[in-house]
Amino acid sequence: MSPSRWMAVVISLAVLAVGVAACGSSDSGSSSGELSGQVAGAGSSAQEAAQEAWIANFESENSDVTVSYDPVGSGGGREQFVAGGTAFGGSDAALEEEEGELKGAIERCKPGQLIEIPDYISPIAVVYNLPSVETLQLSPETLAKIFNQEITSWDDQAIAADNPGVELPSTRITPVNRSDESGTTENFVDYLSKAAPSVWKYPVDGNWPVKGGEAAQGTSGVVEAVGAGEGAIGYADESQAGELGIAKIKVGSEYVEPSSEAAAKILEESPEDKALSKGPYMFPFELDRKTEATGTYPIVLTSYLMACTHYGSADEAAIVKAYLEYVISSEGQEAAAENAGSAPLSESLREKITPAIEAIETS
């Protein structure tokens, strides 16, 4: 084939590629909202599904805006926010002094203030697969012993003590945990270490510390694994539990099921973490895992949103403000509940954090 034919092939392929690209990029719609521009956020992957829903709804109302959220994990989210690479960040843990993150974030937001608000609360359910057992009740100590493999069969005395009158089979217990690093693991382990400190001695981390269990990837992996084996028990986002049995956990003297209200309630029962709250618009909570208040469910994952009250570009500030307004609004929280199974923020909490959003300067 002659060189000129060669060139013809190359050129036509290039034209084809450009054509595909041009077709594709007309995907952003034509109508004009007042807001326009691009805003990037990154952080906790626990918030991924919720952020997807928020972004989808927000973009359909504001078709000239592109919001992106990269679920790189809480650590990366904090890193990128402090470095100024993202306009907002998602983090499963409040900013801390360690590694200078808190100071760095406050610096980053100058001359404005740092905003840190809870935007996502998700109950973590303890799911199990025992067709013969309708309701399962577990106290924190029993739960801890099951997951650190001290208790190995379902008819153990400790479990029987929590479930008087229930016929427990002698099946072997298969504990299922997360193989990937996750905020769900971190919050579950945090609960175990605070509610059953005499039994659970492992450090709190996003990586599951006990070797020998079945390790599954992602919440969906855990649910699949528990569903596949009789006698399996695991921890997962309550919204994805599907058909699996959900255990009731002992709070005070009652056994409580995970639910949106019970999960949202724990934030109301928990005090603000004074040590980490360094500004008027920061609301980090110290979850009281040992609470005994009725109607609370303490195994929850709380995720925060970090932003600033001042941005370099007025467009960026306007988009962030409108987006965050939507995120904490009741419609936004409902959308997240539907798509991600989170617990909507309670009205009183919303009132508390709204001034932070309103403080974002858009002029």
Partner 1 sequence: MESSAADTRALLTSPPVGGPLWRRKAFNRVMTGLIVAAFAIALIPLFSLLFEVVKRGLPGMSWEFLTGTPRGIVGGGGAAHAIVGTVVITGVTAIISVPIGILAAIYLTEYGGKGRLRRWLTFFVDVMTGIPSIVAGLFAFALFAIFLGPGIRLGLMGAVALSVLMIPIVIRSSEEVLKIVPNHLREASYALGTPKWRTIVKVVLPTAFAGLVTGVMIAVARIVGETAPLLVTTGIVDSINTNPFEGRMQNLAVYAYSEYRTPGVMKQASYDRAWAAALTLIAIVMILNVVARLVYRRYKTEIK
Partner 2 sequence: MESSQATGAPPLAAAAGPRRHWGDRAFSGLAIGAGLTVLGLLAGVALFLLIEALPAASASPDRLPEGKSLVDYIAPLAFGTVLAAAIAVLIAVPLAVAAALFISHIAPRRIVLALGFLVDLLAAIPSIVYGLWGIFVLGPAAVPVLEWLEQKLGFIVFFKGPASATGRTMLVASLVLAVMILPIVSAVCREVFSQTPRKLQEGALALGATRWEMIRMTVLPFGKSSIISGSMLGLGRALGETMAVTIILSVSGIVTFNLISQANPSTIAANIALDFPESSGLAVNTLIASGLVLFAITLVTNLAARAIISRQNIQ
Note whether 203 binds partner 2 by CB under 8 A: yes
Note whether 259 binds partner 1 by CB under 8 A: no
Q: Is the distance from CB of 245 to CB of 130 less than 8 angstroms?
A: yes
* Residue 86 binds which of partner 1, partner 2, none (CB < 5-8 A, kind-dependent): partner 1
Minimum distance from CB of 81 to partner 2 (Å)?
Answer: 11
Site string for partner 2, 24-53 (x = CB under 8 A): ---------------------x--------
Write down the H helix ranges in the chain: 3-25, 48-61, 74-82, 101-109, 140-147, 157-162, 183-195, 218-228, 260-269, 314-328, 330-340, 347-358
Q: Which residue has the tokens 């990269």?
A: 70
DSSP 153: B
Specify burial of residue 287 (Cβ count, 10 A radius: 0-12, 13-18, 19+): buried
* Residue 32 binds which of partner 2, partner 1, none (CB < 5-8 A, kind-dependent): none
Q: Which of the ranges 15-23, 101-109, 255-263, 312-320 carries the binding residues for partner 1, by CB under 8 A? A: 15-23
Q: Is the distance from CB of 328 to CB of 353 less than 8 angstroms?
A: yes
Q: Is the peptide bond before 344 cis (omega within 30 degrees of 0)?
A: no
Q: Of 55 and 287, which has the nearer Cβ to partner 1?
A: 55
CA distance 79 to 39: 17
Among 74, 80, 148, 177, binds partner 1 (CB under 8 A): 80
Minimum distance from CB of 22 to partner 1 (Å)?
Answer: 8
Note whether 78 binds partner 2 by CB under 8 A: yes
* Residue 42 binds which of partner 2, partner 1, none (CB < 5-8 A, kind-dependent): partner 1
CA 327 to chain CA mean position, Å: 14
Q: What is the DSSP string of 301-332?
A: EEEEEEEES--SSHHHHHHHHHHHHHHHSHHH
Site string for partner 2, 216-235 (x = CB under 8 A): xx------xx--xxx-x---
CA distance 272 to 333: 21
Can you read off the two tokens belonging to residue 242?
């599907």
Question: Helix, strand or coil for residue 221?
Answer: helix
Among 33, 37, 52, 230, binds partner 1 (CB under 8 A): 52
Among 212, 243, 274, 363, binds partner 2 (CB under 8 A): 212
Note whether 71 binds partner 1 by CB under 8 A: yes
Q: What is the DSSP string of 72-117?
A: --HHHHHHHHHTTS-SEEEESS---SGGGHHHHHHHHHTTS-EEEE
CA distance 115 to 358: 11
* Residue 11 binds which of partner 2, partner 1, none (CB < 5-8 A, kind-dependent): none
Size of the site for partner 2 (CB under 8 A): 33
Note whether 148 binds partner 2 by CB under 8 A: no
Among 8, 11, 15, 17, binds partner 1 (CB under 8 A): 17
Residue type at position 68: S
Note whether 96 binds partner 2 by CB under 8 A: no
Note whether 150 binds partner 2 by CB under 8 A: no
Interface positions with partner 1 (CB under 8 A): 1-3, 6, 17, 20-21, 24-25, 27-29, 42, 45, 48-49, 52-53, 55-57, 59-60, 66, 68, 70-72, 76, 79-80, 83, 85-86, 217-221, 239-240, 242, 335, 338-341
Q: Which residues sit at the interface with partner 2, rule CB under 8 A?
A: 45, 71-76, 78-79, 99, 172, 174, 179-182, 203, 205-207, 211-217, 224-225, 228-230, 232
